[in-house]
């Protein structure tokens, strides 16, 4: 499976245009307009405004299977430092996760598949907003994605620095972790810093609590169950000589198993209350369940690997990759419909900057490879040659 040279040129142009004009979650108006225009130019029927700024293009080729192929569209609130000629023109916003490349690859595949006459079935090209922490996948599902566009299976693809160009990686089961957040407010009794015995030191409680929370992973959850609990913020106090009445701790929890996820939430509540109570303080816990784990189904993983095997440039294919403890809201689509999520390597001769780094830039050499995978997957599912 190969993509036509003219389509590759278009993908590069689309990608760099999108890179220069990044848009944050649920603000992808210009991006959605470009996507809708190009899908319509291929002869696809187009639905806009799904999940606020999402777009779905439908290629209908009579009776047969129905598949959803998904790309995310949003950028990140990061000041770009690539120095590229097509660098972001929007201060403080950039495509630091490669969603510009994802959009271009799926548009290229749509253009290729729309030219085919040997397919039987339907492909829904799903362009999703707000993947970065805002739950655009959930918004599309709740807005009727699979009711309006029923799918037998749905697939996602993400570029992956750290894997060499030409690598395709996936696995059965959880490939990416759930993402939950917590905020713990420690309430005590403020006092003069010279007279700590007359108050309740919330900063001491907060300090002990940061360490105590780590025992959840090291002593309360089995070593065979991956969990990452990270405290990422501590706030408290405004003066050198005042012990504050309140301190706030915030952080995230990542899990691959749903039962473990619920157990960690219970332990955060219990340890916060117990640690604070030991010092005569109180702990108020706001624990928020966010993205679920991204869980692939076995049949869909098999199909994805078979399709990748027909792309000559995907010479390295891994079906049992180690999961990532990062998270992905394609998980909401996989909760509603069976499917598979995969990674495609983007590193060239030298390893580039990681995702979410100000110097990151999508490797354009991956565009034709990713589009070829999408086209091969659509061809395999719709019985083409």
Which residue ranges make up the annotated binding site for Mn(2+)? 97, 99, 132, 158, 356
| Separation between Cα atoms, residue 52 and residue 355, nearest integer Å | 26
> Contact 359/81 with Cβ under 8 angstroms?
yes
> Contact 174/258 with Cβ under 8 angstroms?
no
| Separation between Cα atoms, residue 330 and residue 308, nearest integer Å | 20
Q: Is 194 exposed, middle or buried (0-12, 13-18, 19+ CB in 10 A)?
A: exposed
List the structure tokens of 185. 């407010």
Contacts of 219 (CB under 8 A, 6+ apart): none
Place of tokens 């290629």: 59
Q: What angle do CA 135, 137, 143 make, to 5 degrees?
A: 105
Residues tagged in the binding site annotation: 97, 99, 132, 158, 356
Q: At 225, phi and psi to the nearest 5? A: -105, 105
| Separation between Cα atoms, residue 163 and residue 168, nearest integer Å | 9
| Separation between Cα atoms, residue 283 and residue 277, nearest integer Å | 8
């Amino acid at each position: 499976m190969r993509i036509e040279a003219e389509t590759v040129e278009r993908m590069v142009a689309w990608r760099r245009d999108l890179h220069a004009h990044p848009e944050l979650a649920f603000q992808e108006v210009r991006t959605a307009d470009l996507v809708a225009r190009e899908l319509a130019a291929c002869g696809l029927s187009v639905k806009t405004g799904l999940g606020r700024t999402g777009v779905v293009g439908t290629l209908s080729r009579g009776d047969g299977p129905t598949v959803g192929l998904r790309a995310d569209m949003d950028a990140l609130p990061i000041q770009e430092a690539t120095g590229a000629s097509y660098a972001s023109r929007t201060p403080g916003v950039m495509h630091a996760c490669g969603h510009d490349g994802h959009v271009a690859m799926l548009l290229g595949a749509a253009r290729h598949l729309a030219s085919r006459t040997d397919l039987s079935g339907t492909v829904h090209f799903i362009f999703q907003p707000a993947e970065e922490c805002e739950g655009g996948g959930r918004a599309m599902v709740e807005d009727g994605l699979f009711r309006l566009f029923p799918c037998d299976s749905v697939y996602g693809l993400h570029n992956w620095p750290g894997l060499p160009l030409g690598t395709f990686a996936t696995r059965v089961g959880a490939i990416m972790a759930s993402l939950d957040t917590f905020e713990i407010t420690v309430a005590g009794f403020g006092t003069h810093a010279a007279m700590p015995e007359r108050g309740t030191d919330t900063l001491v409680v907060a300090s002990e609590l940061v360490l105590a929370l780590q025992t959840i992973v090291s002593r309360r959850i089995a070593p065979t169950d991956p969990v990452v609990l990270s405290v990422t913020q501590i706030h408290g106090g405004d003066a050198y000589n005042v012990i504050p009445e309140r301190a706030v701790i915030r952080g995230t929890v990542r899990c691959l198993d749903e039962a473990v996820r619920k157990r960690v939430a219970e332990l955060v509540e219990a340890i916060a209350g117990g640690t604070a109570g030991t010092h005569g303080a109180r702990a108020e816990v706001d624990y928020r369940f966010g993205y679920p784990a991204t869980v692939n189904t076995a049949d869909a993983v098999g199909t994805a690997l078979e399709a990748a095997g027909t792309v000559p440039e995907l010479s390295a294919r891994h079906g049992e990759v180690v999961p990532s403890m990062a998270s992905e809201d394609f998980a909401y689509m996989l909760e509603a419909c069976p499917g598979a999520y995969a990674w495609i390597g983007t590193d060239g001769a030298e390893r580039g900057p990681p995702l979410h780094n100000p110097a990151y830039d999508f490797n354009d050499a991956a565009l034709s490879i990713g589009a070829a995978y999408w086209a091969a997957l659509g061809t395999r599912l719709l019985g083409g040659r």
